[in-house]
Structure 1
Amino acid sequence: MPHPQHLPREPMNAIALVNGTVITLNRNTPDGQALLIENGLVQCVGTTEQVLERKRPETSVVDLDRRVVLPGLIDAHTHVEFCALSRDWLDVRAVPRTETLARLRDELREGYAGTDRWLVAQGTFGQDLPVRAELDELSRDTPIIVRESMHRLTANTAALERAGMVRGFTAPVGTLVEIGEDGAPSGWVEEGYHLFPVPAPEPDRLRTMLRNELRDSFARHGVTCIYELPATAEGVRAYQRLNAAGDLPTRLSLTLTVAPGLSPILSSPEQLADIGLISGFGGGNLWLGGFKVFLDGDDTSAFDSAHLTKSPGNWSTNTRQYAEIVHLLTVAHRAGIQVWIHAIGDLAQHLALDAIEEAGRVAGPGDRRTRLEHAANLWIDDALVRRLRELEVIPVPTAGFIHADPGDGAYAYRTLIESGFRPPGNSDTGGTQPFATNPWFGVAAMLDRTNRHGVVVAADEAVDTHTALRTYTEFAAEAGFREAHIGALGVGMHGDCAVYANDPRELSPAELRALEADLTVVGGRVVWQREDQS
């Protein structure tokens, strides 16, 4: 595995890849045998002879030896910072509750007593996690949190007390803190990890963690651009400092969450709009994506009609009224800021679409590319398709969630694409499914549609490999207003590509799930190289 010192601080942005197959995914640039990147941009796709004739003397040459080059892949929604943080947490993913408790007990022997350390463990979707009483038996002094996912966790009394979650506590908007029969928080918290004062890594260490995560979890699979949702303001600063030092292994856009919501960065939409920055502000390696708003939570905290049989206080973690959403969207539209809307439940999605329609009327026409995150994951019908099309909303399902789906989801890629939509490929992972940072895992899920138990989920929504690949290239580029620069290989576009031993479009889903790039190139700079290819 490459180490940081193997990445040059002064980028070598010129490279010629010859004697292979270059797949451009660009209707204006035919596929070829060779690719020339100089000054960070594609200069030529053609024969090996043409590229060698055009290259500068100082341009390095890589003999592909019949290997395949694809455009760099784009992850259009993920949580790199949380992925990086989870590397420091205790791994209890997909183990029985008894094993989780045993691992926590063993970890507590490693110098926690008498310190301010927190013990955070990472589980996965649908896992049977310990309850507060069991965690209290392990320690009454060390705060313990066990995360199922970005959205749901369980905590011991020490952790709850440090977060102020004691008898009489009132959960803030957008967060669900379950209250037990004794009138005190039970330990179950949804949409509220950011409320716990877990110590953050030191800034220098956070930068190293983020750089390593970008390289080892994303670039190694051929990802060259990521649309990131940073978890903290310090994470935003860390990305800027990595960029200034030339240490970003991939391109990044940063989309900031507006409170109330999970791990918010902005207190209001005006906080960003009033300073005059618009989506795209920044450079070619790091830029402002926009902002994200939560309308509900996940699973039991989703604003969904199935929950209306419960008492109103348990319908969802609904964060905003209709008029508030219209106001937020109008502010964003007038300021030139793209909006991502998190809406999982059917009621949340209908609410979002109503607000989008009204904000469009108020602000007037424009190319806004408003995104509806999680649309078509769990359900789809003709009425939803029609409204999405009329309002020019980008639906953003996540194929990787098929892995944990119980078997009744939709993940309606075929329906969306046949209806003219271009849903962007993404992992939407924050440590719960670390393998999902490999975009080929998502591609495989679009093909065979199988969950972790081997159950096929909505088989009629499967697409072919070439179509799935387009979601992580041209569709993802369009979803971030970057189609002129990334998502394909064409003269004048960014020189971002990945080299594979074989054409991924000819591999089986099982082979795709384990696929790594031999070489990943960003702007002509090698950011990942397999050790056996060094």
Structure 2
Amino acid sequence: MYADLALINGNIITMDSKKLRAQAIAIKNQRIIKVGTNNQISQLINDSTKIIQLEGRTVIPGLIDTHIHVAAFGRHLDWLDLTDCKSIKDMQTILKNKISQTIPNKWILGRGWNEKNFQKNQFPNRYDLDTIAPNNPVVLYNQSGNLCLVNTEALCLMNINSQKVKLLKENTIKRDLITGDPTGILEGKALDLIWDSIPEPDQKDLLELTHCACLKILKAGITSIHWMVLSYLEFSIIKKLKEKGIPLRIYAIIPFEIWKKEIKQTPSHGLKNNTFKIGGIEIAIDGYLANKTAALFKPYNDGSYSTGNLFQSSQSLYASVSDIIQSGFQPVLHAMGDKAVELALEAIEKLMKKTEHQNTRIRLEQAALINKNLIDRTKNKKIIISVQPCVINSEFKTWNAIDNLGSNRARWLFPLRTLINKKILLIGGSDCPMEPLNPFQGIQKIVDRKFFPEESITLTEAIAMYTINAAYSTNEEKYKGSIEEGKIADLTILSIDPTVIPSNNIKNVEVETTIVGGEIIYNKRV
């Protein structure tokens, strides 16, 4: 039996504990048939075999992004990137360039500005936008996404009524201290007003946007994703993408209410070639640290005495998780604060008393604040913790976790080293478009961790979060996640071996080729 495709003269990082490194790979009928030396693989090559001369380049298993909002990413591809703005003038320059390419009345969206980068920490206002864009509604989110700047045209389209006047009293629409007029800065509940005003793309436009997003994901070396679905429309978009032949492997995670109402009876098995599966059902137990809705045992350090919000009772959570398991799906429990994590653990502990549930792989999504006691309760329960590494950096750097939680609590924010030492499985995702897509940027954040560096992990452990661990989390470790004979030939070829470069340079590793099922989907050199 000769190979369809052979990769030779390479540095193969297999993520297989039995054979950590190799020189070459042979592929036949979408699967890996041999991993070994150049000499071993050469015996499987004939005139019809396509050969990739790696010339020493590094190959790793196809990367798996375990938390990505694909439809939102597609919509964000047209957004302005304001992360490098050092002044309001920089922001205006970028907006001016966009206006020159945009028809009047069309919404312009952007994200990434940070007033701390501006002179004297000066907040921009709507008039800064009006001078550049008087005829287009403009919405520009800050770096953390917890507030935004809008121009006068956008404010008019929001059509403030009596309900929205109440929001003014709650100070979520900032007003000038002298005139009382809106400054253009919105936060909290007022952010909902924006999305009530922005027209939704129709199915055709959304399909095209998400198709573009999928191509960018493949270009990043990602061969499988866990698509965090936000609407039933997205679910239909996924099916249409597969009909169009997108090779990206999709594990869909559906919000509990949408699943229960719209698709509970849909079979959980995948389509042909394991390219699409409805796998996880997500329950939100609490909110987020960034807007202080993550549920905590003790109040946030802002003088408000707020401890965030719990969206579930113990009884409702147990009933919902039981329903998910009995229907053949994976429970995905969003629990960010320590109080929410405890509520999740209580439900899991109760479920594990039933023999039929003991092998269920339950996932804690975006679990952030996990103290020693919670860690001890988590181990030995086959609980998987889903981490978005770039979020860790944002919580400390942008949200100021140490100020908002206090140093003692912030010490237990994303304690990855401790979790791994306790044999708790971690998986990695981007949370794109809220955070960058680049997996190596995420990997760098947890290998070269700046806040509480004692919780840094090794490069091999970090790569495992995006490969073999991610495959295990969805019961797919037998056919992907490592480079082994018999597994699907999903591979990522890199510009350099990330194990031999300084940890602060990992983010600059480039993806040169993406291979899905033995097919070259992206090749930078072509």
- TM-score for the superposition, normalised by structure 1: 0.80
Which has the higher mean CA deviation after the structures are superposed, 44-53 or 178-187? Answer: 178-187
SS at match of 1:463: coil
1:168 aligns with 2:158: no
Q: Quote the offset at 1:44 in angstroms.
A: 0.9
Q: Distance in 1 between matches of 2:473 and 2:165?
A: 38
Aligned partner of 1:522: which letter? Answer: V
Match of residue 319, structure 1, among 285, 308, 311: 311
Which has the higher mean CA deviation after the structures are superposed, 384-393 or 21-30? Answer: 21-30
Which structure 2 residues correspond to residues 165-314 of structure 1 after superposition, within 5 A? 166-168=161-163, 178=172, 187-189=186-188, 192=192, 195-201=195-201, 203-216=203-216, 218-248=217-247, 250-259=248-257, 266=258, 269=260, 271-273=262-264, 275-278=265-268, 283-294=273-284, 295-299=286-290, 300-304=292-296, 305-307=298-300
Aligned partner of 2:7: which letter? Answer: L
Q: Quote the offset at 1:114 in angstroms.
A: 6.0
1:344 aligns with 2:344: no
Q: Distance in 2 between matches of 1:499 and 1:103?
A: 37
Match of residue 483, structure 2, among 478, 486, 489: 489
Q: Which residue of 2 aligns with 1:419?
A: 422
Q: Quote the offset at 1:72 in angstroms.
A: 1.3
Match of residue 68, structure 1, among 52, 55, 58: 58
Q: Which residue of 1 aligns with 2:441?
A: 441
Q: Distance in 2 between matches of 1:165 and 1:498?
A: 50
In the alignment, structure 2 segments of 5+ residues that lack a partner are 403-409
Aligned partner of 1:333: which letter? Answer: I
Q: Which residue of 2 aligns with 1:85?
A: 75
Q: Which residue of 2 aligns with 1:370?
A: 362
Aligned partner of 2:447: which letter? Answer: L
Which structure 2 residues correspond to residues 347-426 of structure 1 after superposition, within 5 A? 347-360=339-352, 365-375=357-367, 377=368, 379-404=369-394, 405-406=396-397, 408=402, 409=410, 410-426=413-429
Q: Which residue of 2 aligns with 1:38?
A: 28
Q: Quote the offset at 1:18 in angstroms.
A: 1.2
Which structure 2 residues correspond to residues 18-167 of structure 1 after superposition, within 5 A? 18-29=8-19, 31-55=21-45, 57-93=47-83, 95=85, 98-99=88-89, 102-103=92-93, 106=96, 109-110=99-100, 115=105, 117-123=106-112, 130=124, 142-148=136-142, 152-154=146-148, 156=150, 159=154, 166-167=161-162
Rate the CA distance shift 1:95–1:42 in 2: closer, same or farther, 3 A.
Answer: same
Q: Distance in 2 between matches of 1:293 and 1:238?
A: 22
Is the 1:160–1:187 contact (alpha carbons within 8 Å) kept by the matching residues of 2?
Answer: no
Q: Quote the offset at 1:392 in angstroms.
A: 3.1
Q: Quote the offset at 1:130 in angstroms.
A: 4.5
Aligned partner of 1:22: which letter? Answer: I
Rate the CA distance shift 1:473–1:341 in 2: closer, same or farther, 3 A.
Answer: same
Rate the CA distance shift 1:370–1:178 in 2: closer, same or farther, 3 A.
Answer: farther
Aligned partner of 1:178: which letter? Answer: T
Rate the CA distance shift 1:62–1:114 in 2: closer, same or farther, 3 A.
Answer: closer
Q: Quote the offset at 1:390 in angstroms.
A: 5.0
Q: Deviations over 1:339-387 (max 9, x none)?
A: 2222222222222222333455579524322211222x4x433201112
Is the 1:254–1:290 contact (alpha carbons within 8 Å) kept by the matching residues of 2?
Answer: yes
Q: Distance in 2 between matches of 1:403 and 1:308?
A: 19
Aligned partner of 2:249: which letter? Answer: R
Q: Which residue of 1 aligns with 2:405?
A: none
Q: Distance in 2 between matches of 1:322 and 1:161?
A: 43
Q: Distance in 2 between matches of 1:325 and 1:369?
A: 17
Q: Distance in 2 between matches of 1:520 and 1:166?
A: 51
Q: Which residue of 2 aligns with 1:263?
A: none
Q: Deviations over 1:463-497 (max 9, x none)?
A: 22222221211111111221111110111111011
Q: Distance in 2 between matches of 1:138 and 1:517?
A: 38
Q: Which residue of 1 aligns with 2:507?
A: 513
Match of residue 321, structure 2, among 322, 329, 342: 329
Rate the CA distance shift 1:308–1:321 in 2: closer, same or farther, 3 A.
Answer: farther
Q: Distance in 2 between matches of 1:192 and 1:343?
A: 22
How many residues align? The count is 494
In the alignment, structure 1 segments of 5+ residues that lack a partner are 1-12, 260-265, 450-455
Aligned partner of 2:250: which letter? Answer: L
Q: Deviations over 1:114-167 (max 9, x none)?
A: 63x222221268877656787788878754332236863436476567567632
Which has the higher mean CA deviation after the structures are superposed, 223-232 or 275-284? Answer: 275-284
Q: Which residue of 2 aligns with 1:10?
A: none
Q: Quote the offset at 1:257 in angstroms.
A: 2.5
SS at match of 1:380: coil
Q: Distance in 2 between matches of 1:270 and 1:362?
A: 27
SS at match of 1:303: coil
Q: Deviations over 1:276-333 (max 9, x none)?
A: 4337577512221312222213322322232398668x65354333333222212111
Aligned partner of 1:347: which letter? Answer: K
Q: Distance in 1 between matches of 2:79 and 2:469?
A: 34
Identical counterparts, % of pairs: 22
Aligned partner of 2:428: which letter? Answer: G
SS at match of 1:518: strand
Q: Distance in 2 between matches of 1:243 and 1:479?
A: 23
Q: Distance in 2 between matches of 1:113 and 1:59?
A: 51
Q: Quote the offset at 1:75 in angstroms.
A: 1.3
Q: Which residue of 2 aligns with 1:470?
A: 464
Is the 1:445–1:509 contact (alpha carbons within 8 Å) kept by the matching residues of 2?
Answer: no
1:17 aligns with 2:7: yes
Is the 1:167–1:183 contact (alpha carbons within 8 Å) kept by the matching residues of 2?
Answer: no
Which has the higher mean CA deviation after the structures are superposed, 332-341 or 52-61? Answer: 52-61
Q: Distance in 2 between matches of 1:308 and 1:338?
A: 35
